[in-house]
Structures are given as C-alpha cells and as structure tokens.
C-alpha cells in the first residue's frame, strides 16, 4: 500500500544523494524521456483545466446571473462543457503517457538490476542475505511501480495545483485569500507533524508485518517438524503473539493519524464557513462578488486535497528514492570478479596454472589459501583432499574463477588456463571451458527436464534424456506418471532425497567442457546407484582435465595425482602410492578412511 510508505532514519537520503539518485533515474529513463516530457506537459495542462472550472463559474455568476444576462450565461456553459471534455481527453492521455513511461522505466530497471546482480561474484552472494536481494528486485521495484501509477502524477499535480490555486486566490481577492491562509498554515503544520508521526508508526507497522510474515512462513515450511514433535500449540501461541503485536501496531498508526483526519475535515469546513461568513460581509460592502465566493469555495476544496496528498506522498517519494538508491548501489557495485574490456580468447585446451595464490574470504580473519602453486596438465585428473575447512573447495572455486586471488603486499597470485590469465578472459568464454558441478541437489521449480537442461540450455530433449540415461536414472524418472515432465515442486519436494541428487548429477553429464571441477558432496545415494553414477561420471571425465574435491577413497584412488591441502596450504602432492610410501598426512588420512569402511 503506497499510502503506508515509510522510511527509516538510516535510509533517508540527504539532498545531494536524492538529487543524484533522481538524476540517475532520469538518465536510465532515456528511452522514455520524450513520453515523460509530454506526460509532464499534460499534467500542467490538466491542472490549468482544473483551475479554470471555478473561474468560469465565478464569471458566470458575476457577469451572467447577477447581471441577468442569459446570453453570457449560455456562452459560458458551452465553454465550460468544452473545457470539461478537453479535460477528459487530457486526463486520459496523461494517464497513458505516465504509465507508459513508468512501466518502460521499471522494465529497464528490473533487467538492469538483475543483469548486474548475476554478474556479481560469489563473494557478493556470500555477503548479502538472499532475502534482502530478492526483496530489492521485487518489493522495492513494485512499490516504485505503485508510486508511478498513483503517486508521481499526484505529486506533480498536487504541487502545481497548490501553487497555482494560492496565486489565483490572491488575484481574485486578497482579503479572502488571507482568510483562507489563516487555515492553510495550520493545515500545513499539522500535515508536517502528521507526516513525521505516521512515518514512525508505519515503520513500526512494516517491521511488525515482516516479523509476522516470517513467523507465518516458518510455521508453514516447518510444519512437518512441528507436527512430528507435536508442537502445534506452542507455535500457534507464538504466532498469536506476533500477530497481536501487529494488530497493536496497526491500531497505533491509526491512533496517531486519527486526529489529523479529524482536523483536516474540521479545517475544510471551518475555512468554507469563514469564507462564507466574512465573504458575505465583504459582499455586503461590495468588496467582493458572490461569484468570487463561489469560486473560492470550490478552489479551497482543490487546495485541501493537495496538502493532504503531499504529506502522504512525501513519505512515498522519500522511501522510493531510498529504494532506488539501494538498487543503484547494486547496479554500481563493481563485480569483484569482473570482465576486462578487451578479453583474450582462451585456447580450446590447456593446462591450469595456479601460481602463488593467496585468498581470504571477506568475512574471515585469516586466509583460506596461502601461497598455493600447482599445475594441472591438460587431461590430468587431480584430487584435492584434506581435513574439513582446509581450503579444498576454495582452491577448486578459484580454479574456475568463482573468486579471484587476493592481493598480498601489492602482489597477487594468478590462475591461468592455457597460458591466459583467467582475469583476462571473458566470462562466457571461461564457462565454455571450465564448468563447476556442485553436487548439492538444488532443484529449481519446473519439470525434471528443465532442471537438467539448466546445465546447457541449448540441449535437445534427446540429449537431456541421454544425460539421464548415462547416469542410469532415465528409466526411473520416465516411469513417473508424467515422466520427465513431472513438476518437481518447490525445492524438488516431489522427489526423494536421492532422486534430487540424481537430477543434479545429470546436469554434469550434459555439459561438454575442457575442464570439469567437481566438488564431491557427501551423498544421499545408495551405494549401488552411486556406483552407476560414478561409472557414468568416469566416462564423462575421460579425455578432460578434472579437478575433484574428494571425500571418498574410491574417487581419490582414480586420480592421477593427489594434492593434500591443510590450513590453506598445499602440503603434499603425488600419486596415491607415492604419498602412501611417503607416510605423511595422506597416508594417515587414507588409513582413517579405510578404518571407516566395514569389515
């Protein structure tokens, strides 16, 4: 609800920021500029039409009716009808224009923000909360849409109307204008006060709505656990309390606004009364005409509305500019992992060279990798092993440029493919050569087919089926009543845990990169199925460079070389046999693994 817009102190922009944000939006709206300008012109025209009504009435009363001149009266009526029809036409055009400009702008904004969002590095997504990002793209932009539909137009026309009406009032009769202006400052003061109070109240409402919705959502998504432990009553009680808090907050916001609406009503009627009273007296002394009084009464109605609207719109406009500002922050955020202007093409194949790479996550106080150097030959298979938190996944992610190496003492390590520094290549080129397969079974809403195809959007149905068949999962899914077109539902809830993982794995079988980076997750698959999958991946790995973060002895055994990572450093490197003979960390790890196998 746009009327409920509110803005917190820390979000409020200062004048410079506001101007800059508006300027930015204006730039972004370049394609809509012409139509925007005509919309504004139309607003001006229709405001003038609105003002013309009371003035015509005044003239009609004073020069037609009072003088008993029927002809003048008739003429004025014709003019009035003409202006009314004109007003309708202008109103209609103005509406269309402002919406066409606004929706075009919002579309550009949506696409620009999303495009920039996707360009951001993994580090960005580590840093930002998913919920916040989503609400920027949805709620914030939607509320701006409402501003455009209702607010922007009203804001401009209310402002124009206010200024013009005051001028007209003074021109018509300064005495009566002064009378009206006794009430007006009162109304303005009240509106300012109301705007502050209601802002605070609406902020509180918004926060309570947020709490309430998350309790609601948690109750719905967690319903299985809640029922399994028979905690329905406790959760209900908890929801009731956030719900009642929301009710109280709503009522508080009504309470702070109640006096204001009463006052506005009172002021409107009282001002009218005063105009009539004092005006009547002035008429008596022939200081003003009856027509002027009538026009005043109508104009006053035009004055009170804008003041009220402006006070509400003020919040809306402020919070929208703040939202825009935040969106522009996303647009402007330079991706930590960005493309150079003139990328160097990558060779079709080549070795991966990691030279003296150090890397720290932004939120961490110590580096996750320190001075790592390693070369993975074209077609080689390298297994990364080491204890939890050693930095295996981090190293794998750097090799695929999900992150860039950090600067240390002014120097920076490099990761290159076929002799080209990954930072010099384009992202799309890079993803054709190096693909990362996360093994977590994340499913998108949609069918099984669509979920697999995400790995290579151009794949045909037959290729998707072949990918599923290669990991031995085609028959299982084809046997579902709706086959591969089965909707997997939110987060894949229609599937069993293992089936979700199979869908994710089939993605790996669909791609055709030179380098495959696999982060082997611990698995929900039964070992039988897993063996089939491993076999399939085996044929996938043939003839490619493979970097696999290994959690299973069987995977490690099949690697050409094993790199042992510990505390962010590369501590051992060699084949299984070499490392076992060495009797170092790998030897210890391998025997621990073996101990965990059954006997």
Partner 1 sequence: MDTPETLATRDGWRLLRRVLMEQRRGLIVGVIVGLLWAVGKVSVPQITKLGIDRGSEGNGSLLFWTGLVVAAAVIAGIFTAFRRWVAFRESRWIETRLREQIFDHLLRLHVGYHDRTQTGQLMSRASSDLQQLQAFVVMIPITLSNLAMIVAVVVLLFVSQPYLALFALAPLPLVNVLASRFSRRIHPAVLAVQQEQAQLATVVEESVSGVRVIKGFGAEGVQFAKVSTEADDIQRVSLEAARIRSRFLPALDVLPALGLVAVLGIGGHRVIDGAMTVGDLVKFNAYITMLIWPLRNLAMTVALGQRASVALMRVNEVLSTPSLVVDPESPTRLPAATIDRPVGEVRFRDVVFAYEGSDPVIDGFDLSIPAGHAVALVGATGSGKSTLVRLLTRFHDVKSGAIEIDGVDVRSMSLTDLRSAVGIVFEDTFLFHDPVRDNIAFARPEASDDVVHGAARLAGAHEFITALPEGYDTILGERGYSLSGGQRQRIAIARAIVAEPRVLVLDDATSAVDPSKEHEIREAMTTVMRGRTTIVIAHRPGTIALADTVVLLDGGRAVAVGSHDELLATNDRYRQVLAAWAVRDEDGDDDAPTPSPDSTTAVVESRRAVSRSADGEVV
Residue from the set 29, 35, 57, 509 that interacts with partner 1 by CB under 8 A: 57
- Residue 75 makes contact with partner 1 by CB under 8 A: no
**Min separation Cβ 372 and Mg ion, Å:** 15
3-state secondary structure 285-350: CCCCCHHHHHHHHHHHHHHHHHHHHHHHHHHHHHHHHHHHHHHHHHHHCCCCCCCCCCCCCCCCCC
The span from the first CA to the last CA of the chain, in angstroms, equals 66
Beta bridge partners of 562: 383, 574
Residue from the set 200, 544, 558, 567 that interacts with partner 1 by CB under 8 A: 558
Instruction: Return the number of the residue (171 or 223) whose C-beta is nearest partner 1.
Output: 223
Instruction: Return the number of the residue (7 or 559) whose C-beta is nearest partner 1.
Output: 559
- Residue 393 makes contact with ligand ATP by CB under 6 A: yes
Q: 375 contacts which partner out of partner 1, Mg ion, ligand ATP, none, CB within 5 to 8 A by kind? A: none
Between the alpha carbon of residue 495 and those of residues 443, 488, 501, 502, the distances in Å are 10, 6, 9, 10
Say which DSSP state 124 is in: H
Q: Residue with CB nearest ligand ATP?
A: 498
What string marks each residue from 365 to 394 as x (binds Mg ion by CB under 5 A) or -?
----------------------------x-
**Residues 55 and 167 sit within 8 Å (Cβ to Cβ):** no
CA distance 98 to 87: 16
Instruction: Return the number of the residue (19 or 223) whose C-beta is nearest partner 1.
Output: 223
CA distance 244 to 258: 21
Between the alpha carbon of residue 345 and those of residues 342, 377, 425, the distances in Å are 9, 19, 6
- Residue 31 makes contact with partner 1 by CB under 8 A: no
CA distance 476 to 458: 24
Residue from the set 189, 497, 531, 592 that interacts with Mg ion by CB under 5 A: 497
Alpha-helical (H) ranges within 333-407 are 392-399
- Residue 213 makes contact with partner 1 by CB under 8 A: yes
φ, ψ of residue 276 to 5 degrees: the values are: -65, -45
- Residue 60 makes contact with partner 1 by CB under 8 A: yes
Residue from the set 263, 331, 571, 580 that interacts with partner 1 by CB under 8 A: 263
**Residues 515 and 379 sit within 8 Å (Cβ to Cβ):** no
**Min separation Cβ 462 and partner 1, Å:** 19
**Min separation Cβ 391 and Mg ion, Å:** 9
Residue from the set 206, 326, 551, 567 that interacts with partner 1 by CB under 8 A: 551
**Min separation Cβ 425 and ligand ATP, Å:** 23
**How many angstroms from the chain centroid is the CA of residue 462?**
36
**Number of residues forming the site for ligand ATP (CB under 6 A):** 20
- Residue 254 makes contact with partner 1 by CB under 8 A: yes
Q: Report 409-448 residues binding partner 1 (CB under 8 A).
A: 427-428, 430-432, 435-438, 440, 442, 444-445
Q: Report 456-475 residues binding partner 1 (CB under 8 A).
A: 456-457, 472
Give one DSSP letter per residue of 270-284, joined into a string: HHHHHHHHHHHHHHH
Q: Which of 142, 110, 123 is nearest to 28 (CA)?
A: 110
Instruction: Return the number of the residue (85 or 163) whose C-beta is nearest partner 1.
Output: 85
Return the number of other C-beta atoms located less than 10 Å from residue 4's C-beta.
Answer: 19
Which positions ≥6 away from 489 have C-beta within 8 Å? 445
CA distance 273 to 278: 8
- Residue 364 makes contact with ligand ATP by CB under 6 A: yes
Of 119-127, 217-225, 264-272, 492-500, which segment contacts Mg ion by CB under 5 A?
A: 492-500
**How many angstroms from the chain centroid is the CA of residue 356?**
38
DSSP reduced 3-state for 230: coil
- Residue 496 makes contact with ligand ATP by CB under 6 A: yes
- Residue 126 makes contact with ligand ATP by CB under 6 A: yes
What string marks each residue from 519 to 548 as x (binds ligand ATP by CB under 6 A) or -?
-----x------------------------
- Residue 507 makes contact with partner 1 by CB under 8 A: yes
Instruction: Return the number of the residue (264 or 473) whose C-beta is nearest ligand ATP.
Output: 473
Instruction: Return the number of the residue (13 or 49) whose C-beta is nearest partner 1.
Output: 49
- Strand 545-549 with 515-519, pairing: parallel
Of 197-205, 246-254, 492-500, 585-593, which segment contacts ligand ATP by CB under 6 A?
A: 492-500
**Min separation Cβ 216 and partner 1, Å:** 6
CA distance 20 to 321: 10
Q: Which of 99, 92, 101 is nearest to 33 (CA)?
A: 101
Instruction: Return the number of the residue (18 or 38) whose C-beta is nearest partner 1.
Output: 38
- Residue 466 makes contact with ligand ATP by CB under 6 A: no
Residue from the set 342, 363, 388, 462 that interacts with partner 1 by CB under 8 A: 388
Which positions ≥6 away from 541 have C-beta within 8 Å? 381, 516
Say which DSSP state 486 is in: -
- Residue 497 makes contact with partner 1 by CB under 8 A: yes
- Residue 592 makes contact with partner 1 by CB under 8 A: yes
- Residue 130 makes contact with ligand ATP by CB under 6 A: no
Q: Buried b vs exposed e over 80-99: b needs ≥16 C-beta within 10 Å?
A: beebeeebeebbebbeebbb
Q: Report 238-297 residues binding Mg ion (CB under 5 A).
A: none
User: What's the CA dihedral at 290, 294, 295, 301 to 10 degrees?
Assistant: 150
Residues within the interface to Mg ion (CB under 5 A): 393, 496-497
Residues within the interface to ligand ATP (CB under 6 A): 126, 361, 363-364, 368, 386, 388-394, 494-499, 524
């Amino acid at each position: 609800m746009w009327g409920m817009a509110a803005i917190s102190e820390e979000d409020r922009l200062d004048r410079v920021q506001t101007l800059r944000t508006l300027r930015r939006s204006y730039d972004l709206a370049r394609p809509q500029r012409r139509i925007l300008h005509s919309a504004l012109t139309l607003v001006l025209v229709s405001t003038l039409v609105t003002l013309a009504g009371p003035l015509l009435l005044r003239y009609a009363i004073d020069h037609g009716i009072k003088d008993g001149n029927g002809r003048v009266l008739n003429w004025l009526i014709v003019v009035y009808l003409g202006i009314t029809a004109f007003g309708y036409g202008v109103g209609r055009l103005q509406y269309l224009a402002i919406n066409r400009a606004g929706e075009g702008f919002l579309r550009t904004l949506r696409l620009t923000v999303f495009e920039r969002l996707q360009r951001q590095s993994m580090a960005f997504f580590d840093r930002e909360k998913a919920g916040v990002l989503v609400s920027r793209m949805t709620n914030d932009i939607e509320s701006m849409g409402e501003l455009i539909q209702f607010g922007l137009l009203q804001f401009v026309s209310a402002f124009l109307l206010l200024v013009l009406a005051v001028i007209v009032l003074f021109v018509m009769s300064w005495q009566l204008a002064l009378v009206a202006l006794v009430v007006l400052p009162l109304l303005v003061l009240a509106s300012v006060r109301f705007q502050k109070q209601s802002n605070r109240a609406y902020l509180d409402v918004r926060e309570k709505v947020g709490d309430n919705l998350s309790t609601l959502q948690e109750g719905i998504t967690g319903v299985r656990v809640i029922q399994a432990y028979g905690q329905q009553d406790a959760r209900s009680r908890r929801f009731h309390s956030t719900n009642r808090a929301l009710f109280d907050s709503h009522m508080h916001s009504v309470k702070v606004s109640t006096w204001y609406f009463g006052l506005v009503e009172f002021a409107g009627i009282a001002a009218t009364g005063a105009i009539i009273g004092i005006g009547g007296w002035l008429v008596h002394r022939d200081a003003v005409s009856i027509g002027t009084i009538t026009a005043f009464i109508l104009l006053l109605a035009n004055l009170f509305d804008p003041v009220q609207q402006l006070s509400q719109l003020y919040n809306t406009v402020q919070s929208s500019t703040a939202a825009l500002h935040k969106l522009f922050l996303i647009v402007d955020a330079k991706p930590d992992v960005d493309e150079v202007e003139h990328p160097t093409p990558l060779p079709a194949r080549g070795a991966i060279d990691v030279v003296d790479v150090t890397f720290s996550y932004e939120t961490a106080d110590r580096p996750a990798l320190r001075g790592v150097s390693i070369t993975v030959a074209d077609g080689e298979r390298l297994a990364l092993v080491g204890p939890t938190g050693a930095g295996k996944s981090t190293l794998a992610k750097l090799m695929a440029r999900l992150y860039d190496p950090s600067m240390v003492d002014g120097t920076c390590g490099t990761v290159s493919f076929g002799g080209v520094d990954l930072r010099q290549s384009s992202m799309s080129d890079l993803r054709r050569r190096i693909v990362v397969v996360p093994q977590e079974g994340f499913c998108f809403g949609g069918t099984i087919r669509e979920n697999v195809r995400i790995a290579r959007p151009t794949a045909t149905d037959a290729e998707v089926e072949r990918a599923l068949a290669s990991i031995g999962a085609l028959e299982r899914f084809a046997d579902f009543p709706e086959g591969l077109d089965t909707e997997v539902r939110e987060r894949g809830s229609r599937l069993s845990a293992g089936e979700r993982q199979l869908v994710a794995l089939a993605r790996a079988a669909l791609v055709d990169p030179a380098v495959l980076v696999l982060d082997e997750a611990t698995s929900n698959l039964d070992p039988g199925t897993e063996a089939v999958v491993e076999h399939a991946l085996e044929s996938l790995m043939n003839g490619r460079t493979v970097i696999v973060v290994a959690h299973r002895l069987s995977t490690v055994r099949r690697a050409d070389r094993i790199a042992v990572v510990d505390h962010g450093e590369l501590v051992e490197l060699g084949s299984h046999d070499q490392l076992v003979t060495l009797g170092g960390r790998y030897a210890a790890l391998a025997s621990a693994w073996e101990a965990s196998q059954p006997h």
